[in-house]
Amino acid sequence: MRLYYMTSFETATKHILTERRMRFGQFGSLNDPFELMSPSMDNPAHRQALIYLHQIVAQHWGIICMGKHWKSPLMWAHYAKNHTGICLGFDVANGDAIQQVAYISDRVNLPMDLSKPLHGITYDDTMAMLSTKYSQWSYEEEYRLFGRLDDADPENGHYYFPFGPDMTLREVIVGTRCDKPLHWFRHLLTDIAQPVTVIKARPAFGSFTMVRKKDEAVITVNPE
């Protein structure tokens, strides 16, 4: 599955591409305070169970948020530093670790059994909460990659998913307001596993979408 990750020029070039790894986000620091809180919490007893579950998940699981395309100008503005950043396209292995986000307008009523551990919240319930967001976020068309927070980097304490068979870099899309020429990115793409294309984005002429700037030739970097 081809998925896309938008970020700043600095993060892409100084960290992701040079270190060959993606950093896991942690639920306690994401930009939506309703993460893992899609069920209604009107019942105080249920609320305590959900808060406890949130703490457990946040402690043990990380997330990488990606999208199914790079065409949205709003996504470039929000996540690629006002179109000055970079979008990276990855071939990501399909599996249980990848979940497409479902968007809902109203909080759901999650059946709970107060006599059971975690009030009867199941694994499937938890996975649904991990991949459900309020409908106003639907413009992101998000997919989520989950991973356990087992081995922190000893230098900075963060957690990472390395490039490899399960996450293979295939595209670099340069933001329309990024001033680096396409050939500049070649030196960041040595020792790659698969060919990587580098293209420039621009606003479309007939719609509100981002497209490839065709008067700048595509650069393809091949494995050596």
Question: Any alpha helices (H) in 42-85, and if so which ranges?
Answer: 44-60, 73-79
Looking at the DSSP bridge assignments, the partners of residue 64 are 145
Mean of pLDDT over the chain: 92
Tens of pLDDT, residue by residue over 91-109, are 998 777 899 999 999 998 8
> What pLDDT digit, counting tens, does each position of 46-77 carry?
788 888 888 888 899 999 999 999 999 999 99
Work out the widest C-alpha separation in the chain, in whole angstroms. 65
The Cα 6–Cα 69 span in angstroms is 10
Q: What is the pLDDT of residue 167?
A: 94
pLDDT at 149 over 90: yes
Q: Which residues contact 49 (CB under 8 A, 6 or more apart)?
A: 112, 118, 119, 121
CA 65, 70, 75, 79 dihedral sign is positive
Burial class (CB in 10 A: 0-12, 13-18, 19+), 207: exposed
> Looking at the DSSP assignment, which residues form a beta bridge with residue 25?
63
Cα 109 to Cα 42, 52, 57, 88: the distances in Å are 10, 18, 20, 37
Element (H, E) at 64: strand 61-67
Instruction: Compute the distance between CA of residue 218 and CA of residue 183 in angstroms, rounded to an integer.
Output: 10
Name the nearest CA neighbour of 224 among 192, 197, 196, 198. 192
Identify the DSSP state of 166.
T
Query: Would you state the pLDDT for residue 139?
Result: 94
Cα 168 to Cα 161: distance, rounded to the nearest angstrom: 11
Contact 160, 107 (CB under 8 A): no
pLDDT band at 201 (very low <50, low <70, confident <90, very high): very high
Using the predicted structure, report yes or no on whether residue 124 has a pLDDT greater than 90: no
Q: Is the predicted pLDDT of residue 145 greater than 90, yes or no?
A: yes
CA atoms of 150 and 162, how far apart (whole Å): 14
What residue segments make up the domains of the chain, in order of their start? 2-221
What was the pLDDT predicted at 65? 95
Alpha helices, H only, 61-188: 73-79, 123-130
